[in-house]
Structure 1
Amino acid sequence: MKLQEIYNLILKMGIDHDPRGIEVVQKQLAKEKKKIDELKEDERKEIDQDRIFNPYSDTRVLFGELDREVKRILVGIDMEVGEVILADRLAEKGKKIDLIMAHHPEGKAMAGLYDVMHLQEDLLAQLGVPVNVAEGIMAGRIGEVRRGLMPVNHNRAVDAARLLDIPLMCCHTPADNMVTEYVQKKIDENNCETLGDIVKVLKEIPEYAAAVKTGAGPTIVVGSRKRSAGKVFVDMTGGTSGSEDAYSKLSVAGVGTLVVMHISEKHRKEAEKNHVNVIIAGHMASDSLGMNLILDMIEQRGVEILTCSGLIRVKRS
C-alpha cells in the first residue's frame, strides 16, 4: 500500500465508526472548510490543510512522502525516539521498516490533541446533557489540556524518524472510535445487569484477557461486582479525559456506569460523589483493541505488521 492509502483507510474507518455519526462528522468538516476558505491568503498558509478532510487533529502523517510504498509497518502504543532507533536496528537485521505507526500522538498531532476533545461535547449531548452545558463543561478542560501541551518537546520522535528517513504517522482517535463502538456493542448485546457482568464480558475479549495476566485487566474502581449497572456508557474516545464537572450531569442524564480506559483520582472521586459506577477496562488493552481492528484491515491488503511498545496484537480476520 502507499502511505496515502493507509492514511485514507484509517480516516475512513474512524469516520465510519465515529460515535457521533457520519452526518455530524461531515458537518464538522464542512464548517472547517468554510472557515479556511474565508481566511486571508497569508493566514491560510499557517493552517494545516489536512483539517479539510481529516476531522481528527491527533491523527497525522508526521514524516514521509505520501506516495511511498509500505510493505512492513512497526506499530506500537507509544513510538518515541527509542522505537525509531529500534526500527533502524530491525532494518540492519534484515527487516526493513517502511513505516512507523504510533497510537498515541506525536509531533503536531500531539500539539493538536486538545482540539479533538470537542467530540466529547457531542457525546455528552447525545446522552441528554444540554449542548450549551456540555460546551461549558468542556471549555475549561480543553483550555487546560492545550496549555499543558504547549511546553512539551513534541517533535523529538519526528526528528529522529526524519534523520533516519523512516516515515512516521500516528493513529489516535480513529482507533479510539473503533474500541468504543466494539466494547459498547459487546456490553449491550450481553444485557449486562451488574458491574460483575460487565467485567466478565470484558475478560472474554482477548486483549483484556491478556492484560489480566499482566495485572492490568478490567477493574471496578467505583461500585462493586453486585451493584446494578444501569445505563452503561463506554467512554474511550475524544482525545483525553474530559471535565470532572461532567459526572453530576451524567448522573442526572441517567448514566449508571462508565467503562473507561483510565481515570484520575480526582475524576474517580467526583464519579463516586455522584453515584456513577466506574470500571477501568485497561489502557494498553483498550488501545490495542482499537488499533487491532484497524491493523487487520491494513494487513488484509498485504502489509506485514510488527508490534512493540505495549501493543497486544490479536488478529480477527
Structure 2
Amino acid sequence: MKAREIYELMVSMGIDADPRGRNEVESLLSKKSKDFEEMKVEQKAEFDQEALKNPYSDTRFLAGDLDRDVKRILVGVDIEVGEVLLADRLGQKGQPIDLIIAHHPEGKALSALHDVMHMQEDLLAQLGVPINVAEGLLSSRISEVKRGLAPLNHNRAVDAARLLGLSMMCVHTPADNQVQTFLTKKIEEKKPTKVSEILKLLKEIPEYKAAADMGSGPTLFTGRPEGRCGKVMVDMTGGTSGSEDAYGKLSQAGVGTIVGMHMGEKHRKEAEKNHINVVIAGHMASDSLGMNLLLDALEARGVEIITCAGLIRVSRNAK
C-alpha cells in the first residue's frame, strides 16, 4: 500500500465508526467547505485545507512521502523521539520501517486536538442533554484544553522522523471511534443489568484481559459491583476528557453508568456526587483495541505490523 492509501483508509474507517453517523460527518465537512470558500484570502492562507477532507484535527500525516510504498510499519500508542530512533535502529538491523504510526497525536495534530472535542456536544445530545446545554458545557473546557496545548513542544518526534528520513502519521479519533462503536455494540448485545457484568464483559475482550494480566485491567472507580447499571454511556471518543460539570446533566438525562478509558479525580468526584457508576476499562488497552480494529485492515492487505510503546496487538483476521 502507499502511505496515502493507509492514511485515507484510516480516516474513512473512522468516519464509518463515528457515533454521529457518516451522513452527519459528511454534512459537517460540506459546511466547512462552504465556510472556506467565504473566507478572505489571508484566512485561507492560514487554514489547514486537510480539514476539508478529514474531519479529525488530531489525525494527520506528519512527515515523509505520501506516495511511499509501505510494506512494514511501526505502531505505538505514544511515539516520541525514542520510538523514532527505535524505527531507525530496526532499519539498521534489517527490518526497514516504511511508516511510523502513532495513536496519540503529535505535531500539528496535537496542537489542534481541542477542535475534535466538539463532537462531544453531539454525543451528550444523543444521551438526552439539550444541545444548547451540551455546547455551553463544552465551550469553556475546549478553551481550557486549547490553552493547555499551546505551550507544548509539539514537533519533537516529527522533527526526529524528518531528520532520519522516516515517514510518520498519527491516528487518534478514528481509532477512538472504533473502540466506541465496538463496545457500544457489545453492551447492547449483552444487555448487562449489574455493574459487575460490565466488568466481566470487558475482561472477555483480549486486549482488556491482557491488560488485567499486567495489573492494569478494567476497574470500578465509583459505585458498587452489585449496583444496577441503568442507561450505559460509552465514553471513548471526543479528543480528551470533557467538562466535569456534565455529570449532573447526564444523571438528569438518566445515565447510570459510564464506561470510559480514564478519568481524572475531579471528574470522578463529580460522577460519584451524582450517583453515576464509573467503570474504567483502561487507557492502553482501549487505545490498543481501537488501533487493532484499524490495523487488521492493513494486515489483511499485506502490511507487516510491528508494535511498541504500549500497544497490545490482537489480530481479528482469520488465520
Give the TM-score normalised by structure 2: 0.99
For 2:8, the aligned partner's letter is N
- Tell me the residue number matched to 1:108: 108
In the TM superposition, residue 78 of structure 1 has moved relative to its aligned partner by 0.1
* Per-residue Cα deviation, 1:18-39 (whole angstroms, up to 9, x for no partner): 0011121011101111111111
Structure-1 residue corresponding to 2:284: 284
Give the Cα separation in 2 of the matches to 1:75 and 1:103. Answer: 8
Which residue of structure 2 aligns with residue 201 of structure 1? 201
Provide the C-alpha distance between the structure 2 equivalents of 1:165 and 1:228, rounded to a whole number of angstroms. Answer: 54
Letter in 2 for 1:250: L
Alignment of structure 1 residues 75-94 onto 2, 5 Å: 75-94=75-94
Per the alignment, in what secondary structure is the counterpart of residue 233 of structure 1? strand
The residue correspondences of 1:137-176 to structure 2 (distance < 5 A) are 137-176=137-176
Cα separation, 2, equivalents of 1:240 and 1:54? 19
Alignment-derived partner of residue 58 in structure 2: 58
Alpha-carbon distance in structure 2 between the residues aligned to 1:78 and 1:88: 16
Provide the residue aligned with 1:210 in structure 2: 210
1:186 has 2:186 as partner? yes
Q: Matched residues in 2 for 1:100 and 1:289: separation?
A: 18
Aligned to 1:31: 31
Q: Does 1:240 align with 2:240?
A: yes
How many pairs align? 317
The equivalent of 1:297 in structure 2 is: 297
The answer for the alignment partner of 1:263 in structure 2 is: 263
Give 5+ residue unaligned stretches, structure 2: none
- TM-superposed CA distance for 1:42, in Å, is 2.7
Larger deviation, residues 30-39 vs 201-210: 30-39
Q: Secondary structure at the match of 1:45?
A: helix
User: What residue number does 1:127 align with?
Assistant: 127
Separation in 1, partners of 2:232, 2:108: 34
- Describe the SS at the equivalent of 1:234: strand
What is the percent sequence identity of the aligned residues? 66
Alpha-carbon separation, structure 1, partners of 2:112 and 2:244: 21
d(CA) in 2 for partners of 1:13 and 1:265?
Answer: 33
In 1, Cα distance between equivalents of 2:28 and 2:64: 27
Deviations 1:228-279 (A, max 9, x none): 0011111000000000010001001111100000000000000000011100
| Structure 2 Cα separation of the partners of residues 67 and 42 of structure 1 | 30
* 2:212 alignment partner, SS class: helix
Can you list the C-alpha shifts for 1:60-110, whole angstroms capped at 9, x where unaligned? 000112111111000000001000000000000000000000000000000
| 1:95-144 superposed Cα distances (whole Å, 9 cap, x missing partner) | 00000000000000000000000000000011111100000000000000
Deviates more, 1:20-29 or 1:100-109: 20-29
Query: Secondary structure in 1 aligned to 2:34?
Result: helix
Q: Deviations over 1:194-230 (max 9, x none)?
A: 0100000000000000000111100011101100001
TM-fit CA distance, 1:12: 0.7
Alpha-carbon deviation of 1:187? Answer: 1.4
Aligned to 2:312, the other structure's residue is in SS state coil
Q: Say whether 1:6 aligns with 2:6.
A: yes
Say which SS state the counterpart of residue 74 (structure 2) adopts. strand
* Equivalent-residue separation in structure 1 for 2:18 and 2:248 (angstroms): 25
Alignment correspondent of 2:20: 20
- Alpha-carbon shift at residue 41 of structure 1 (Å): 2.2
Q: Give 2:229's aligned residue.
A: 229
Q: CA RMSD in A?
A: 0.6
CA distance in 1, matches of 2:179, 2:37: 34
- Classify the secondary structure of the residue corresponding to 2:294: helix
Shift of 1:14: 0.4
User: Aligned partners of 2:64, 2:31: CA distance in 1, in Å?
Assistant: 28
Q: Distance in 2 between matches of 1:283 and 1:194?
A: 22
Q: What is the one-letter code of the residue matched to 1:316?
A: R
- SS of equivalent to 2:256: strand
Q: Which amino acid aligns with 2:210?
A: A
- What is the match of residue 95 of structure 1? 95
Q: Describe the superposition over 1:157-179 as per-residue Cα deviations: whole angstroms up to 9, x where unpaired.
A: 00000000100000000000000
